[in-house]
Amino acid sequence: MTTQLSFDVQLNQQARTVAEREQVLASPGFGQTFTDHMISIDWTDERGWHGARLEPYGPLLLDPATSVFHYAQELFEGLKAYRQPNGSIVAFRPYANAARFNTSAARMAMPELPEETFVESLELLVRTDKDWVPSTEGHSLYLRPFMIATQAGLGVNHPSRNYRYMVIASPAASYFSGGVQPVSVWLSTEYTRAAPGGTGFAKCGGNYAAAFLAQRQAVEEGCDQVVWLDAFEHRWVEEMGGMNLFFVFGDRLVTPALTGTLLPGITRDSILTLAGDLGLKAEEGKISIEEWQAGCESGELTEVFACGTAAVVTPVGTVKGADRSWTVGDGTPGPVTLKLREELVGIQFGARPDTHNWVHKI
């Protein structure tokens, strides 16, 4: 299918020099520095999608009454472009992100974007800013497509009639500064991320805005990340602030089922498939904090890891809650976690065959 939209291209005359870019790429951090260009496409109810363009990265000029500032009608995606051994570039499962973008859009009463246009916009940005895709091992270019409600006005009787879709890109090293070191997690029994009927499954900014307080509490408690539990009993594990969770019982993996209150991670979905490839049993199910603690104490629950685009596959080493704390295994990365990480990263960086057709050449 070809898209009706064609992109106007306006190259950045003030693009950074090779030396400036190399300086950023030497130590990119996560989400701190952006490439020289960005994508924008506008929507109005009258005209649909129009005005597709690639232009120099820069600030937006918006009316203070713009809907997104007041009512947070916003959603985003996150995926990465990876440099291959032969120098070419691929994205990982971009159509899965395109589909999730539209699921989020439907929940937020925002217009859907044709999947082809979504992928084409990523391709154009990455091709234009290809020199920003790192070649350093383990580094990648993080792509952040997002959409905001741009109608000015404070009424709440109907969703915005205007929107802007954009893509920005940022070279990325490890999300956690410790690399593959285990992280410590805080069980949030005070706050709730999502409830049935809410927006938990959508990748909308409001979910993250409402999570910062618990994440700050996690850090105050000496932990790296917050673990969200169900809204009713604060007992059933859902996910982390920006990652899904897997529990390893020897050769059996369990990840919380997609109940509508957690994000359907694309890494999660990939791990479910890769686990099967490796001869492991992978299930979607329910796991309580009591089972988590008891499993670690009896030795039956051998490893726990978090997974997501930014975090890749990251072991969980210690768990802390208001009235309990424990260690997972011996607190160091376990073999199943490391094997799955190696498989996934191997496919993304072109060191392993892409048997599931996940890799999309750019």
290 vs 79, 156, 237, 270, CA distance in Å? 34, 43, 10, 27
- Whichever of 66 and 267 has its CB closer to ligand PLP, that residue is 267
Residue 309 binds to ligand PLP (criterion: CB under 6 A):
yes
If DSSP states are collapsed to H, E and C, what string results for 199-261? Answer: CCCCCCHHHHHCCHHHHHHHHHCCCCEEEEECCCCCCEEEEECCCEEEEEECCEEEEECCCCC
Where helices occur in the chain by DSSP H, the ranges are: 18-26, 67-71, 94-107, 115-128, 205-209, 212-220, 266-277, 289-298, 335-348
CA separation for the pair 359, 343 (Å, rounded): 13
Structure token pair of residue 40 = 């924008």
Binding mask 69-88 for ligand COI (x = CB under 6 A): ---------x----------
Residue 310 binds to ligand COI (criterion: CB under 6 A):
yes
User: Any idea which residue has 């299930």 for tokens?
Assistant: 283
Pick the piece of the chain touching ligand PLP (CB under 6 A) from 28-36, 81-89, 123-131, 242-250.
242-250
Structure token pair of residue 203 = 């990748």
> Which entry of ligand COI, ligand PLP, none binds 263, CB below 5 to 8 A by partner kind?
ligand PLP
- Whichever of 150 and 241 has its CB closer to ligand PLP, that residue is 241
- Is the Cβ–Cβ distance between 228 and 188 less than 8 Å? yes
Residue 309 binds to ligand COI (criterion: CB under 6 A):
yes
Residue nearest to ligand COI (CB): 78
- Whichever of 51 and 264 has its CB closer to ligand PLP, that residue is 264
Pick the piece of the chain touching ligand PLP (CB under 6 A) from 48-56, 146-154, 235-243, 335-343.
235-243
> Which entry of ligand PLP, ligand COI, none binds 244, CB below 5 to 8 A by partner kind?
ligand PLP
Q: How far is the CB of 134 from ligand PLP (least distance, A)?
A: 19
- Is the Cβ–Cβ distance between 306 and 319 less than 8 Å? no
Residue 244 binds to ligand PLP (criterion: CB under 6 A):
yes
Residue 266 binds to ligand PLP (criterion: CB under 6 A):
yes
Q: How far is the CB of 227 from ligand COI (least distance, A)?
A: 15
| Residues binding ligand COI (CB under 6 A) | 78, 242, 308-310
